[in-house]
């Protein structure tokens, strides 16, 4: 990416390309108002009108060619620095939504002197102009890409800076300890103000706070991706019927032919705010059918990645060797035993499976009974996995998690040097590393290269 000059004025289409009610062309930079003034004729007013209007006002009129012909009918919003997304003068042109009008308006704005924005450049300017830090900028893209209400809420909190604040507080404590140590290298001890607490205690508290943040990542991942909930069992026990019942839609094919499902089918649902990805699998059995074999292999892979497994058995038909073979490979701590087809009566002794997995939940996927009990069981399983929504801040970004882990390792190394009674220099090296790692999250110590890479993954117009 070429170096970005903050002096030029950029423009891009900020709404998705396609047919829609409106399309928005965003213009940002010192000449934003002047450029749009050149191409816009307000209804009943003369040229150069936008220069005179107050900030944060909306104006009706037309975008015109340099010959004065109409390009489209628009509303123009004028927002002056610094109370804007980028902290620069910003003008948004809302035209008719449709590929042709938005492109025509954009081209006209570019002709009048704006430069086409690079992906993420508006948000990058917000960052470079100090309105948001790097973690907040990344939260913007997380909001756009969030697939569940819960993950969007987490991203929104991060946009408001809750993660950044926690990281900054930890970084400040580290910086204080560092300042003290560096002063103690240069000056005799009685000449520098003492630390509020013993260095060992300070480092221990910092490590704990880092660990607390790192521990939120598991829940963060679940909220971002959904809890992988795999329905497993031998063919024909009603796995696909259960998926359909849970998502209240006929998503999977159900037949009375064993081996109906051949491929994984994944559907997202929300259980009392807990986002789940329910995955229907091919019934596991020995088979010579080539396609089914692949399906069975995929089922096994899905089980390895599962957070929660719903192990389905047919209580009307009874259990057999096939069920027990599957049971052997399922980890009990993740598995909920589910007895299906209870509407046809119970002709089975589940005591052996009970001993391994705990009490079964009886349901009828067909009659949709027992589903509330099953949902409760899923929620308490999730609680056992220490997935709770009580936390306020979640780490959902792999980059942030990596930086937090590096910071923690560095603090551990510093603690070790301190306990060994090594010279202050040894400790400060590690503390510097920890401070830098945390600075990568907020952008205080992020390289240009890293910053560029992050914004390059944004969409155009954001």
Ligand X SMILES: Nc1nc2c(ncn2[C@@H]2O[C@H](COP(=O)(O)OP(=O)(O)OP(=O)(O)O)[C@@H](O)[C@H]2O)c(=O)[nH]1
Which residue, 167 or 303, has its beta carbon nearer to Mg ion?
A: 303
For the sheet containing 308-314, what is the strand order?
A: 265-271, 274-280, 227-232, 308-314, 335-340, 361-362
Q: In whole angstroms, how close is the CB of 345 to ligand X at the nearest point?
A: 10
Cβ proximity to ligand X, 284 vs 403, nearer residue: 284
CB nearer to ligand X: pick between 73 and 344: 344
Q: Out of ligand X, Mg ion, none, which partner does residue 360 contact, by CB within 5 to 8 A per kind?
A: none
365-404 residues in contact with ligand X (CB under 6 A) are 365-366
Q: Total number of residues binding ligand X (CB under 6 A)?
A: 24
* CB of residue 331 to ligand X, shortest distance in Å: 21
Question: In this complex, which beta carbon is closest to ligand X, that of residue 293 or of residue 399?
Answer: 293
109 or 310: CB nearest ligand X: 310
CB of 319 to ligand X, least distance (A): 14
Contacts with Mg ion, residue ranges (CB under 5 A): 239-240, 260-261
Residue 288 burial (10 A CB sphere; 0-12, 13-18, 19+)? exposed
Q: Closer CB to ligand X, residue 276 or residue 282?
A: 282
Annotate 323-346 with b (16+ C-beta within 10 A) or e (fewer): beebbeebeeebbbbbbbbbbeee
Q: Is 161 in the site for ligand X (CB under 6 A)?
A: no
Q: Which is nearer to ligand X, 283 or 443 (CB)?
A: 283
**Taking contact as CB under 6 A, which single stretch among the options 114-122, 346-354, 363-371, 429-437 is the one that binds ligand X?**
363-371
Q: Which does 241 bind (CB under 5 to 8 A by kind): Mg ion, ligand X, none?
A: ligand X
Ramachandran assignment for 89, one of left (phi > 0), alpha (psi -120 to 50 degrees), beta (any other): beta
86 near ligand X (CB under 6 A): no
Main-chain dihedrals φ then ψ at residue 276, nearest 5 degrees: -115, 145
9 binds, among ligand X, Mg ion, none (CB under 5 to 8 A by kind): none
| Least Cβ distance, residue 307 to Mg ion (angstroms) | 21
CB of 248 to ligand X, least distance (A): 15
Binding at 256: pick from Mg ion, ligand X, none (beta carbon under 5-8 Å per type): ligand X
340 binds ligand X (CB under 6 A): yes
Rounded Cα gap, residues 246 and 369, in angstroms: 11
Pick 277 or 418: Cβ nearer ligand X: 277
Which of positions 273-292 make contact with ligand X (CB under 6 A)? Answer: 282-283
Beta carbon of residue 299, minimum distance to Mg ion (angstroms, whole number)? 10
Quick one: tokens of 409? Answer: 């390792």
Residue 239 or 418: which CB sits closer to ligand X?
A: 239
CA–CA distance, 302 with 234 (Å, rounded to integer): 15
Please list the residues that pair with 362 across neighbouring strands: 339
Site string for ligand X, 226-265 (x = CB under 6 A): -------x-xxxxxxx------------xxx-xxxx----
Which of ligand X, Mg ion, none sits in contact with 258, Cβ below 5 to 8 A by type?
ligand X
Residue in this structure with the two tokens 């910053």, named with its chain if needed:
451
Please state the closest distance from residue 18 (CB atom) to ligand X, in A.
37
Least CB distance from residue 287 to ligand X, whole Å? 11
Region binding ligand X by CB under 6 A among candidate stretches 188-196, 336-344, 421-429, 437-445: 336-344
Using CB under 6 A as the criterion, which residues of the chain lie in contact with ligand X when the complex forms?
233, 235-241, 254-256, 258-261, 282-283, 340-341, 343-344, 364-366
């Amino acid at each position: 990416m070429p170096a970005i000059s903050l002096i030029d004025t950029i423009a891009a289409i900020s709404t998705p390309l396609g047919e829609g009610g409106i399309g928005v062309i965003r213009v940002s930079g010192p000449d934003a108002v002047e450029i749009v003034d050149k191409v816009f004729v307000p209804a009943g007013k003369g040229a150069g009108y936008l220069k005179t209007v107050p900030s944060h006002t909306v104006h009706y009129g037309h975008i015109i060619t340099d010959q004065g012909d109409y390009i489209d009918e628009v509303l123009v919003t004028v927002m002056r620095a610094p109370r804007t997304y980028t902290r620069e003068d910003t003008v948004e042109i809302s035209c008719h939504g449709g590929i042709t009008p938005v492109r025509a308006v954009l081209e006209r704005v570019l002709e009048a002197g704006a430069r086409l924005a690079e992906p993420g450049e508006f948000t990058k300017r917000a960052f470079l102009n100090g309105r948001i830090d790097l973690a907040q900028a990344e939260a913007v893209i997380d909001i756009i890409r969030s697939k569940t209400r819960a993950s969007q809420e987490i991203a929104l909190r991060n946009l408001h800076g809750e993660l950044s604040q926690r990281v900054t507080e930890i970084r400040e404590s580290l910086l204080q300890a560092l300042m003290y140590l560096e002063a103690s290298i240069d000056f005799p001890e009685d000449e520098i103000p003492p630390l509020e607490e013993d260095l060992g205690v300070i480092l221990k508290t910092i490590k704990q706070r880092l660990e607390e943040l790192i521990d939120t990542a598991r829940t963060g991942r679940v909220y971002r991706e959904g809890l992988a909930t795999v329905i497993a069992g031998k063919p024909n026990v009603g796995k696909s019927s259960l998926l359909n019942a849970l998502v209240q839609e006929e998503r999977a094919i159900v037949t009375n032919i064993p081996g109906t499902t051949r491929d994984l089918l994944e559907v997202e649902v929300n259980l009392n705010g807990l986002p789940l990805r329910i995955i229907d699998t091919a019934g596991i059995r020995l088979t010579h059918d080539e396609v089914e074999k692949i399906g069975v292999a995929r089922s096994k892979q899905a089980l390895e990645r599962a957070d929660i497994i719903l192990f389905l058995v047919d209580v009307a038909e009874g259990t057999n060797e096939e069920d027990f073979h599957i049971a052997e490979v399922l980890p009990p701590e993740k598995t909920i035993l589910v007895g299906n087809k209870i509407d046809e009566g119970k002709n089975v002794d589940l005591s052996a499976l009970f001993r391994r997995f705990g009490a079964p939940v009886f349901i009828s996927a067909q009659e949709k009974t027992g589903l509330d009990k099953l949902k409760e069981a899923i929620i308490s399983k999730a609680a056992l996995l220490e997935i709770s929504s009580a936390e306020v801040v979640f780490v959902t970004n792999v980059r942030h998690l990596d930086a937090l882990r590096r910071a923690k390792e560095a603090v551990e190394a510093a603690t070790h040097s301190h306990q060994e009674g090594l010279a202050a220099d040894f400790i400060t090296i590690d503390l510097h590393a920890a401070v830098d790692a945390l600075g990568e999250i907020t952008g205080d110590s992020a390289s240009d290269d890293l910053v560029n890479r992050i914004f390059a993954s944004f969409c155009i117009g954001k």
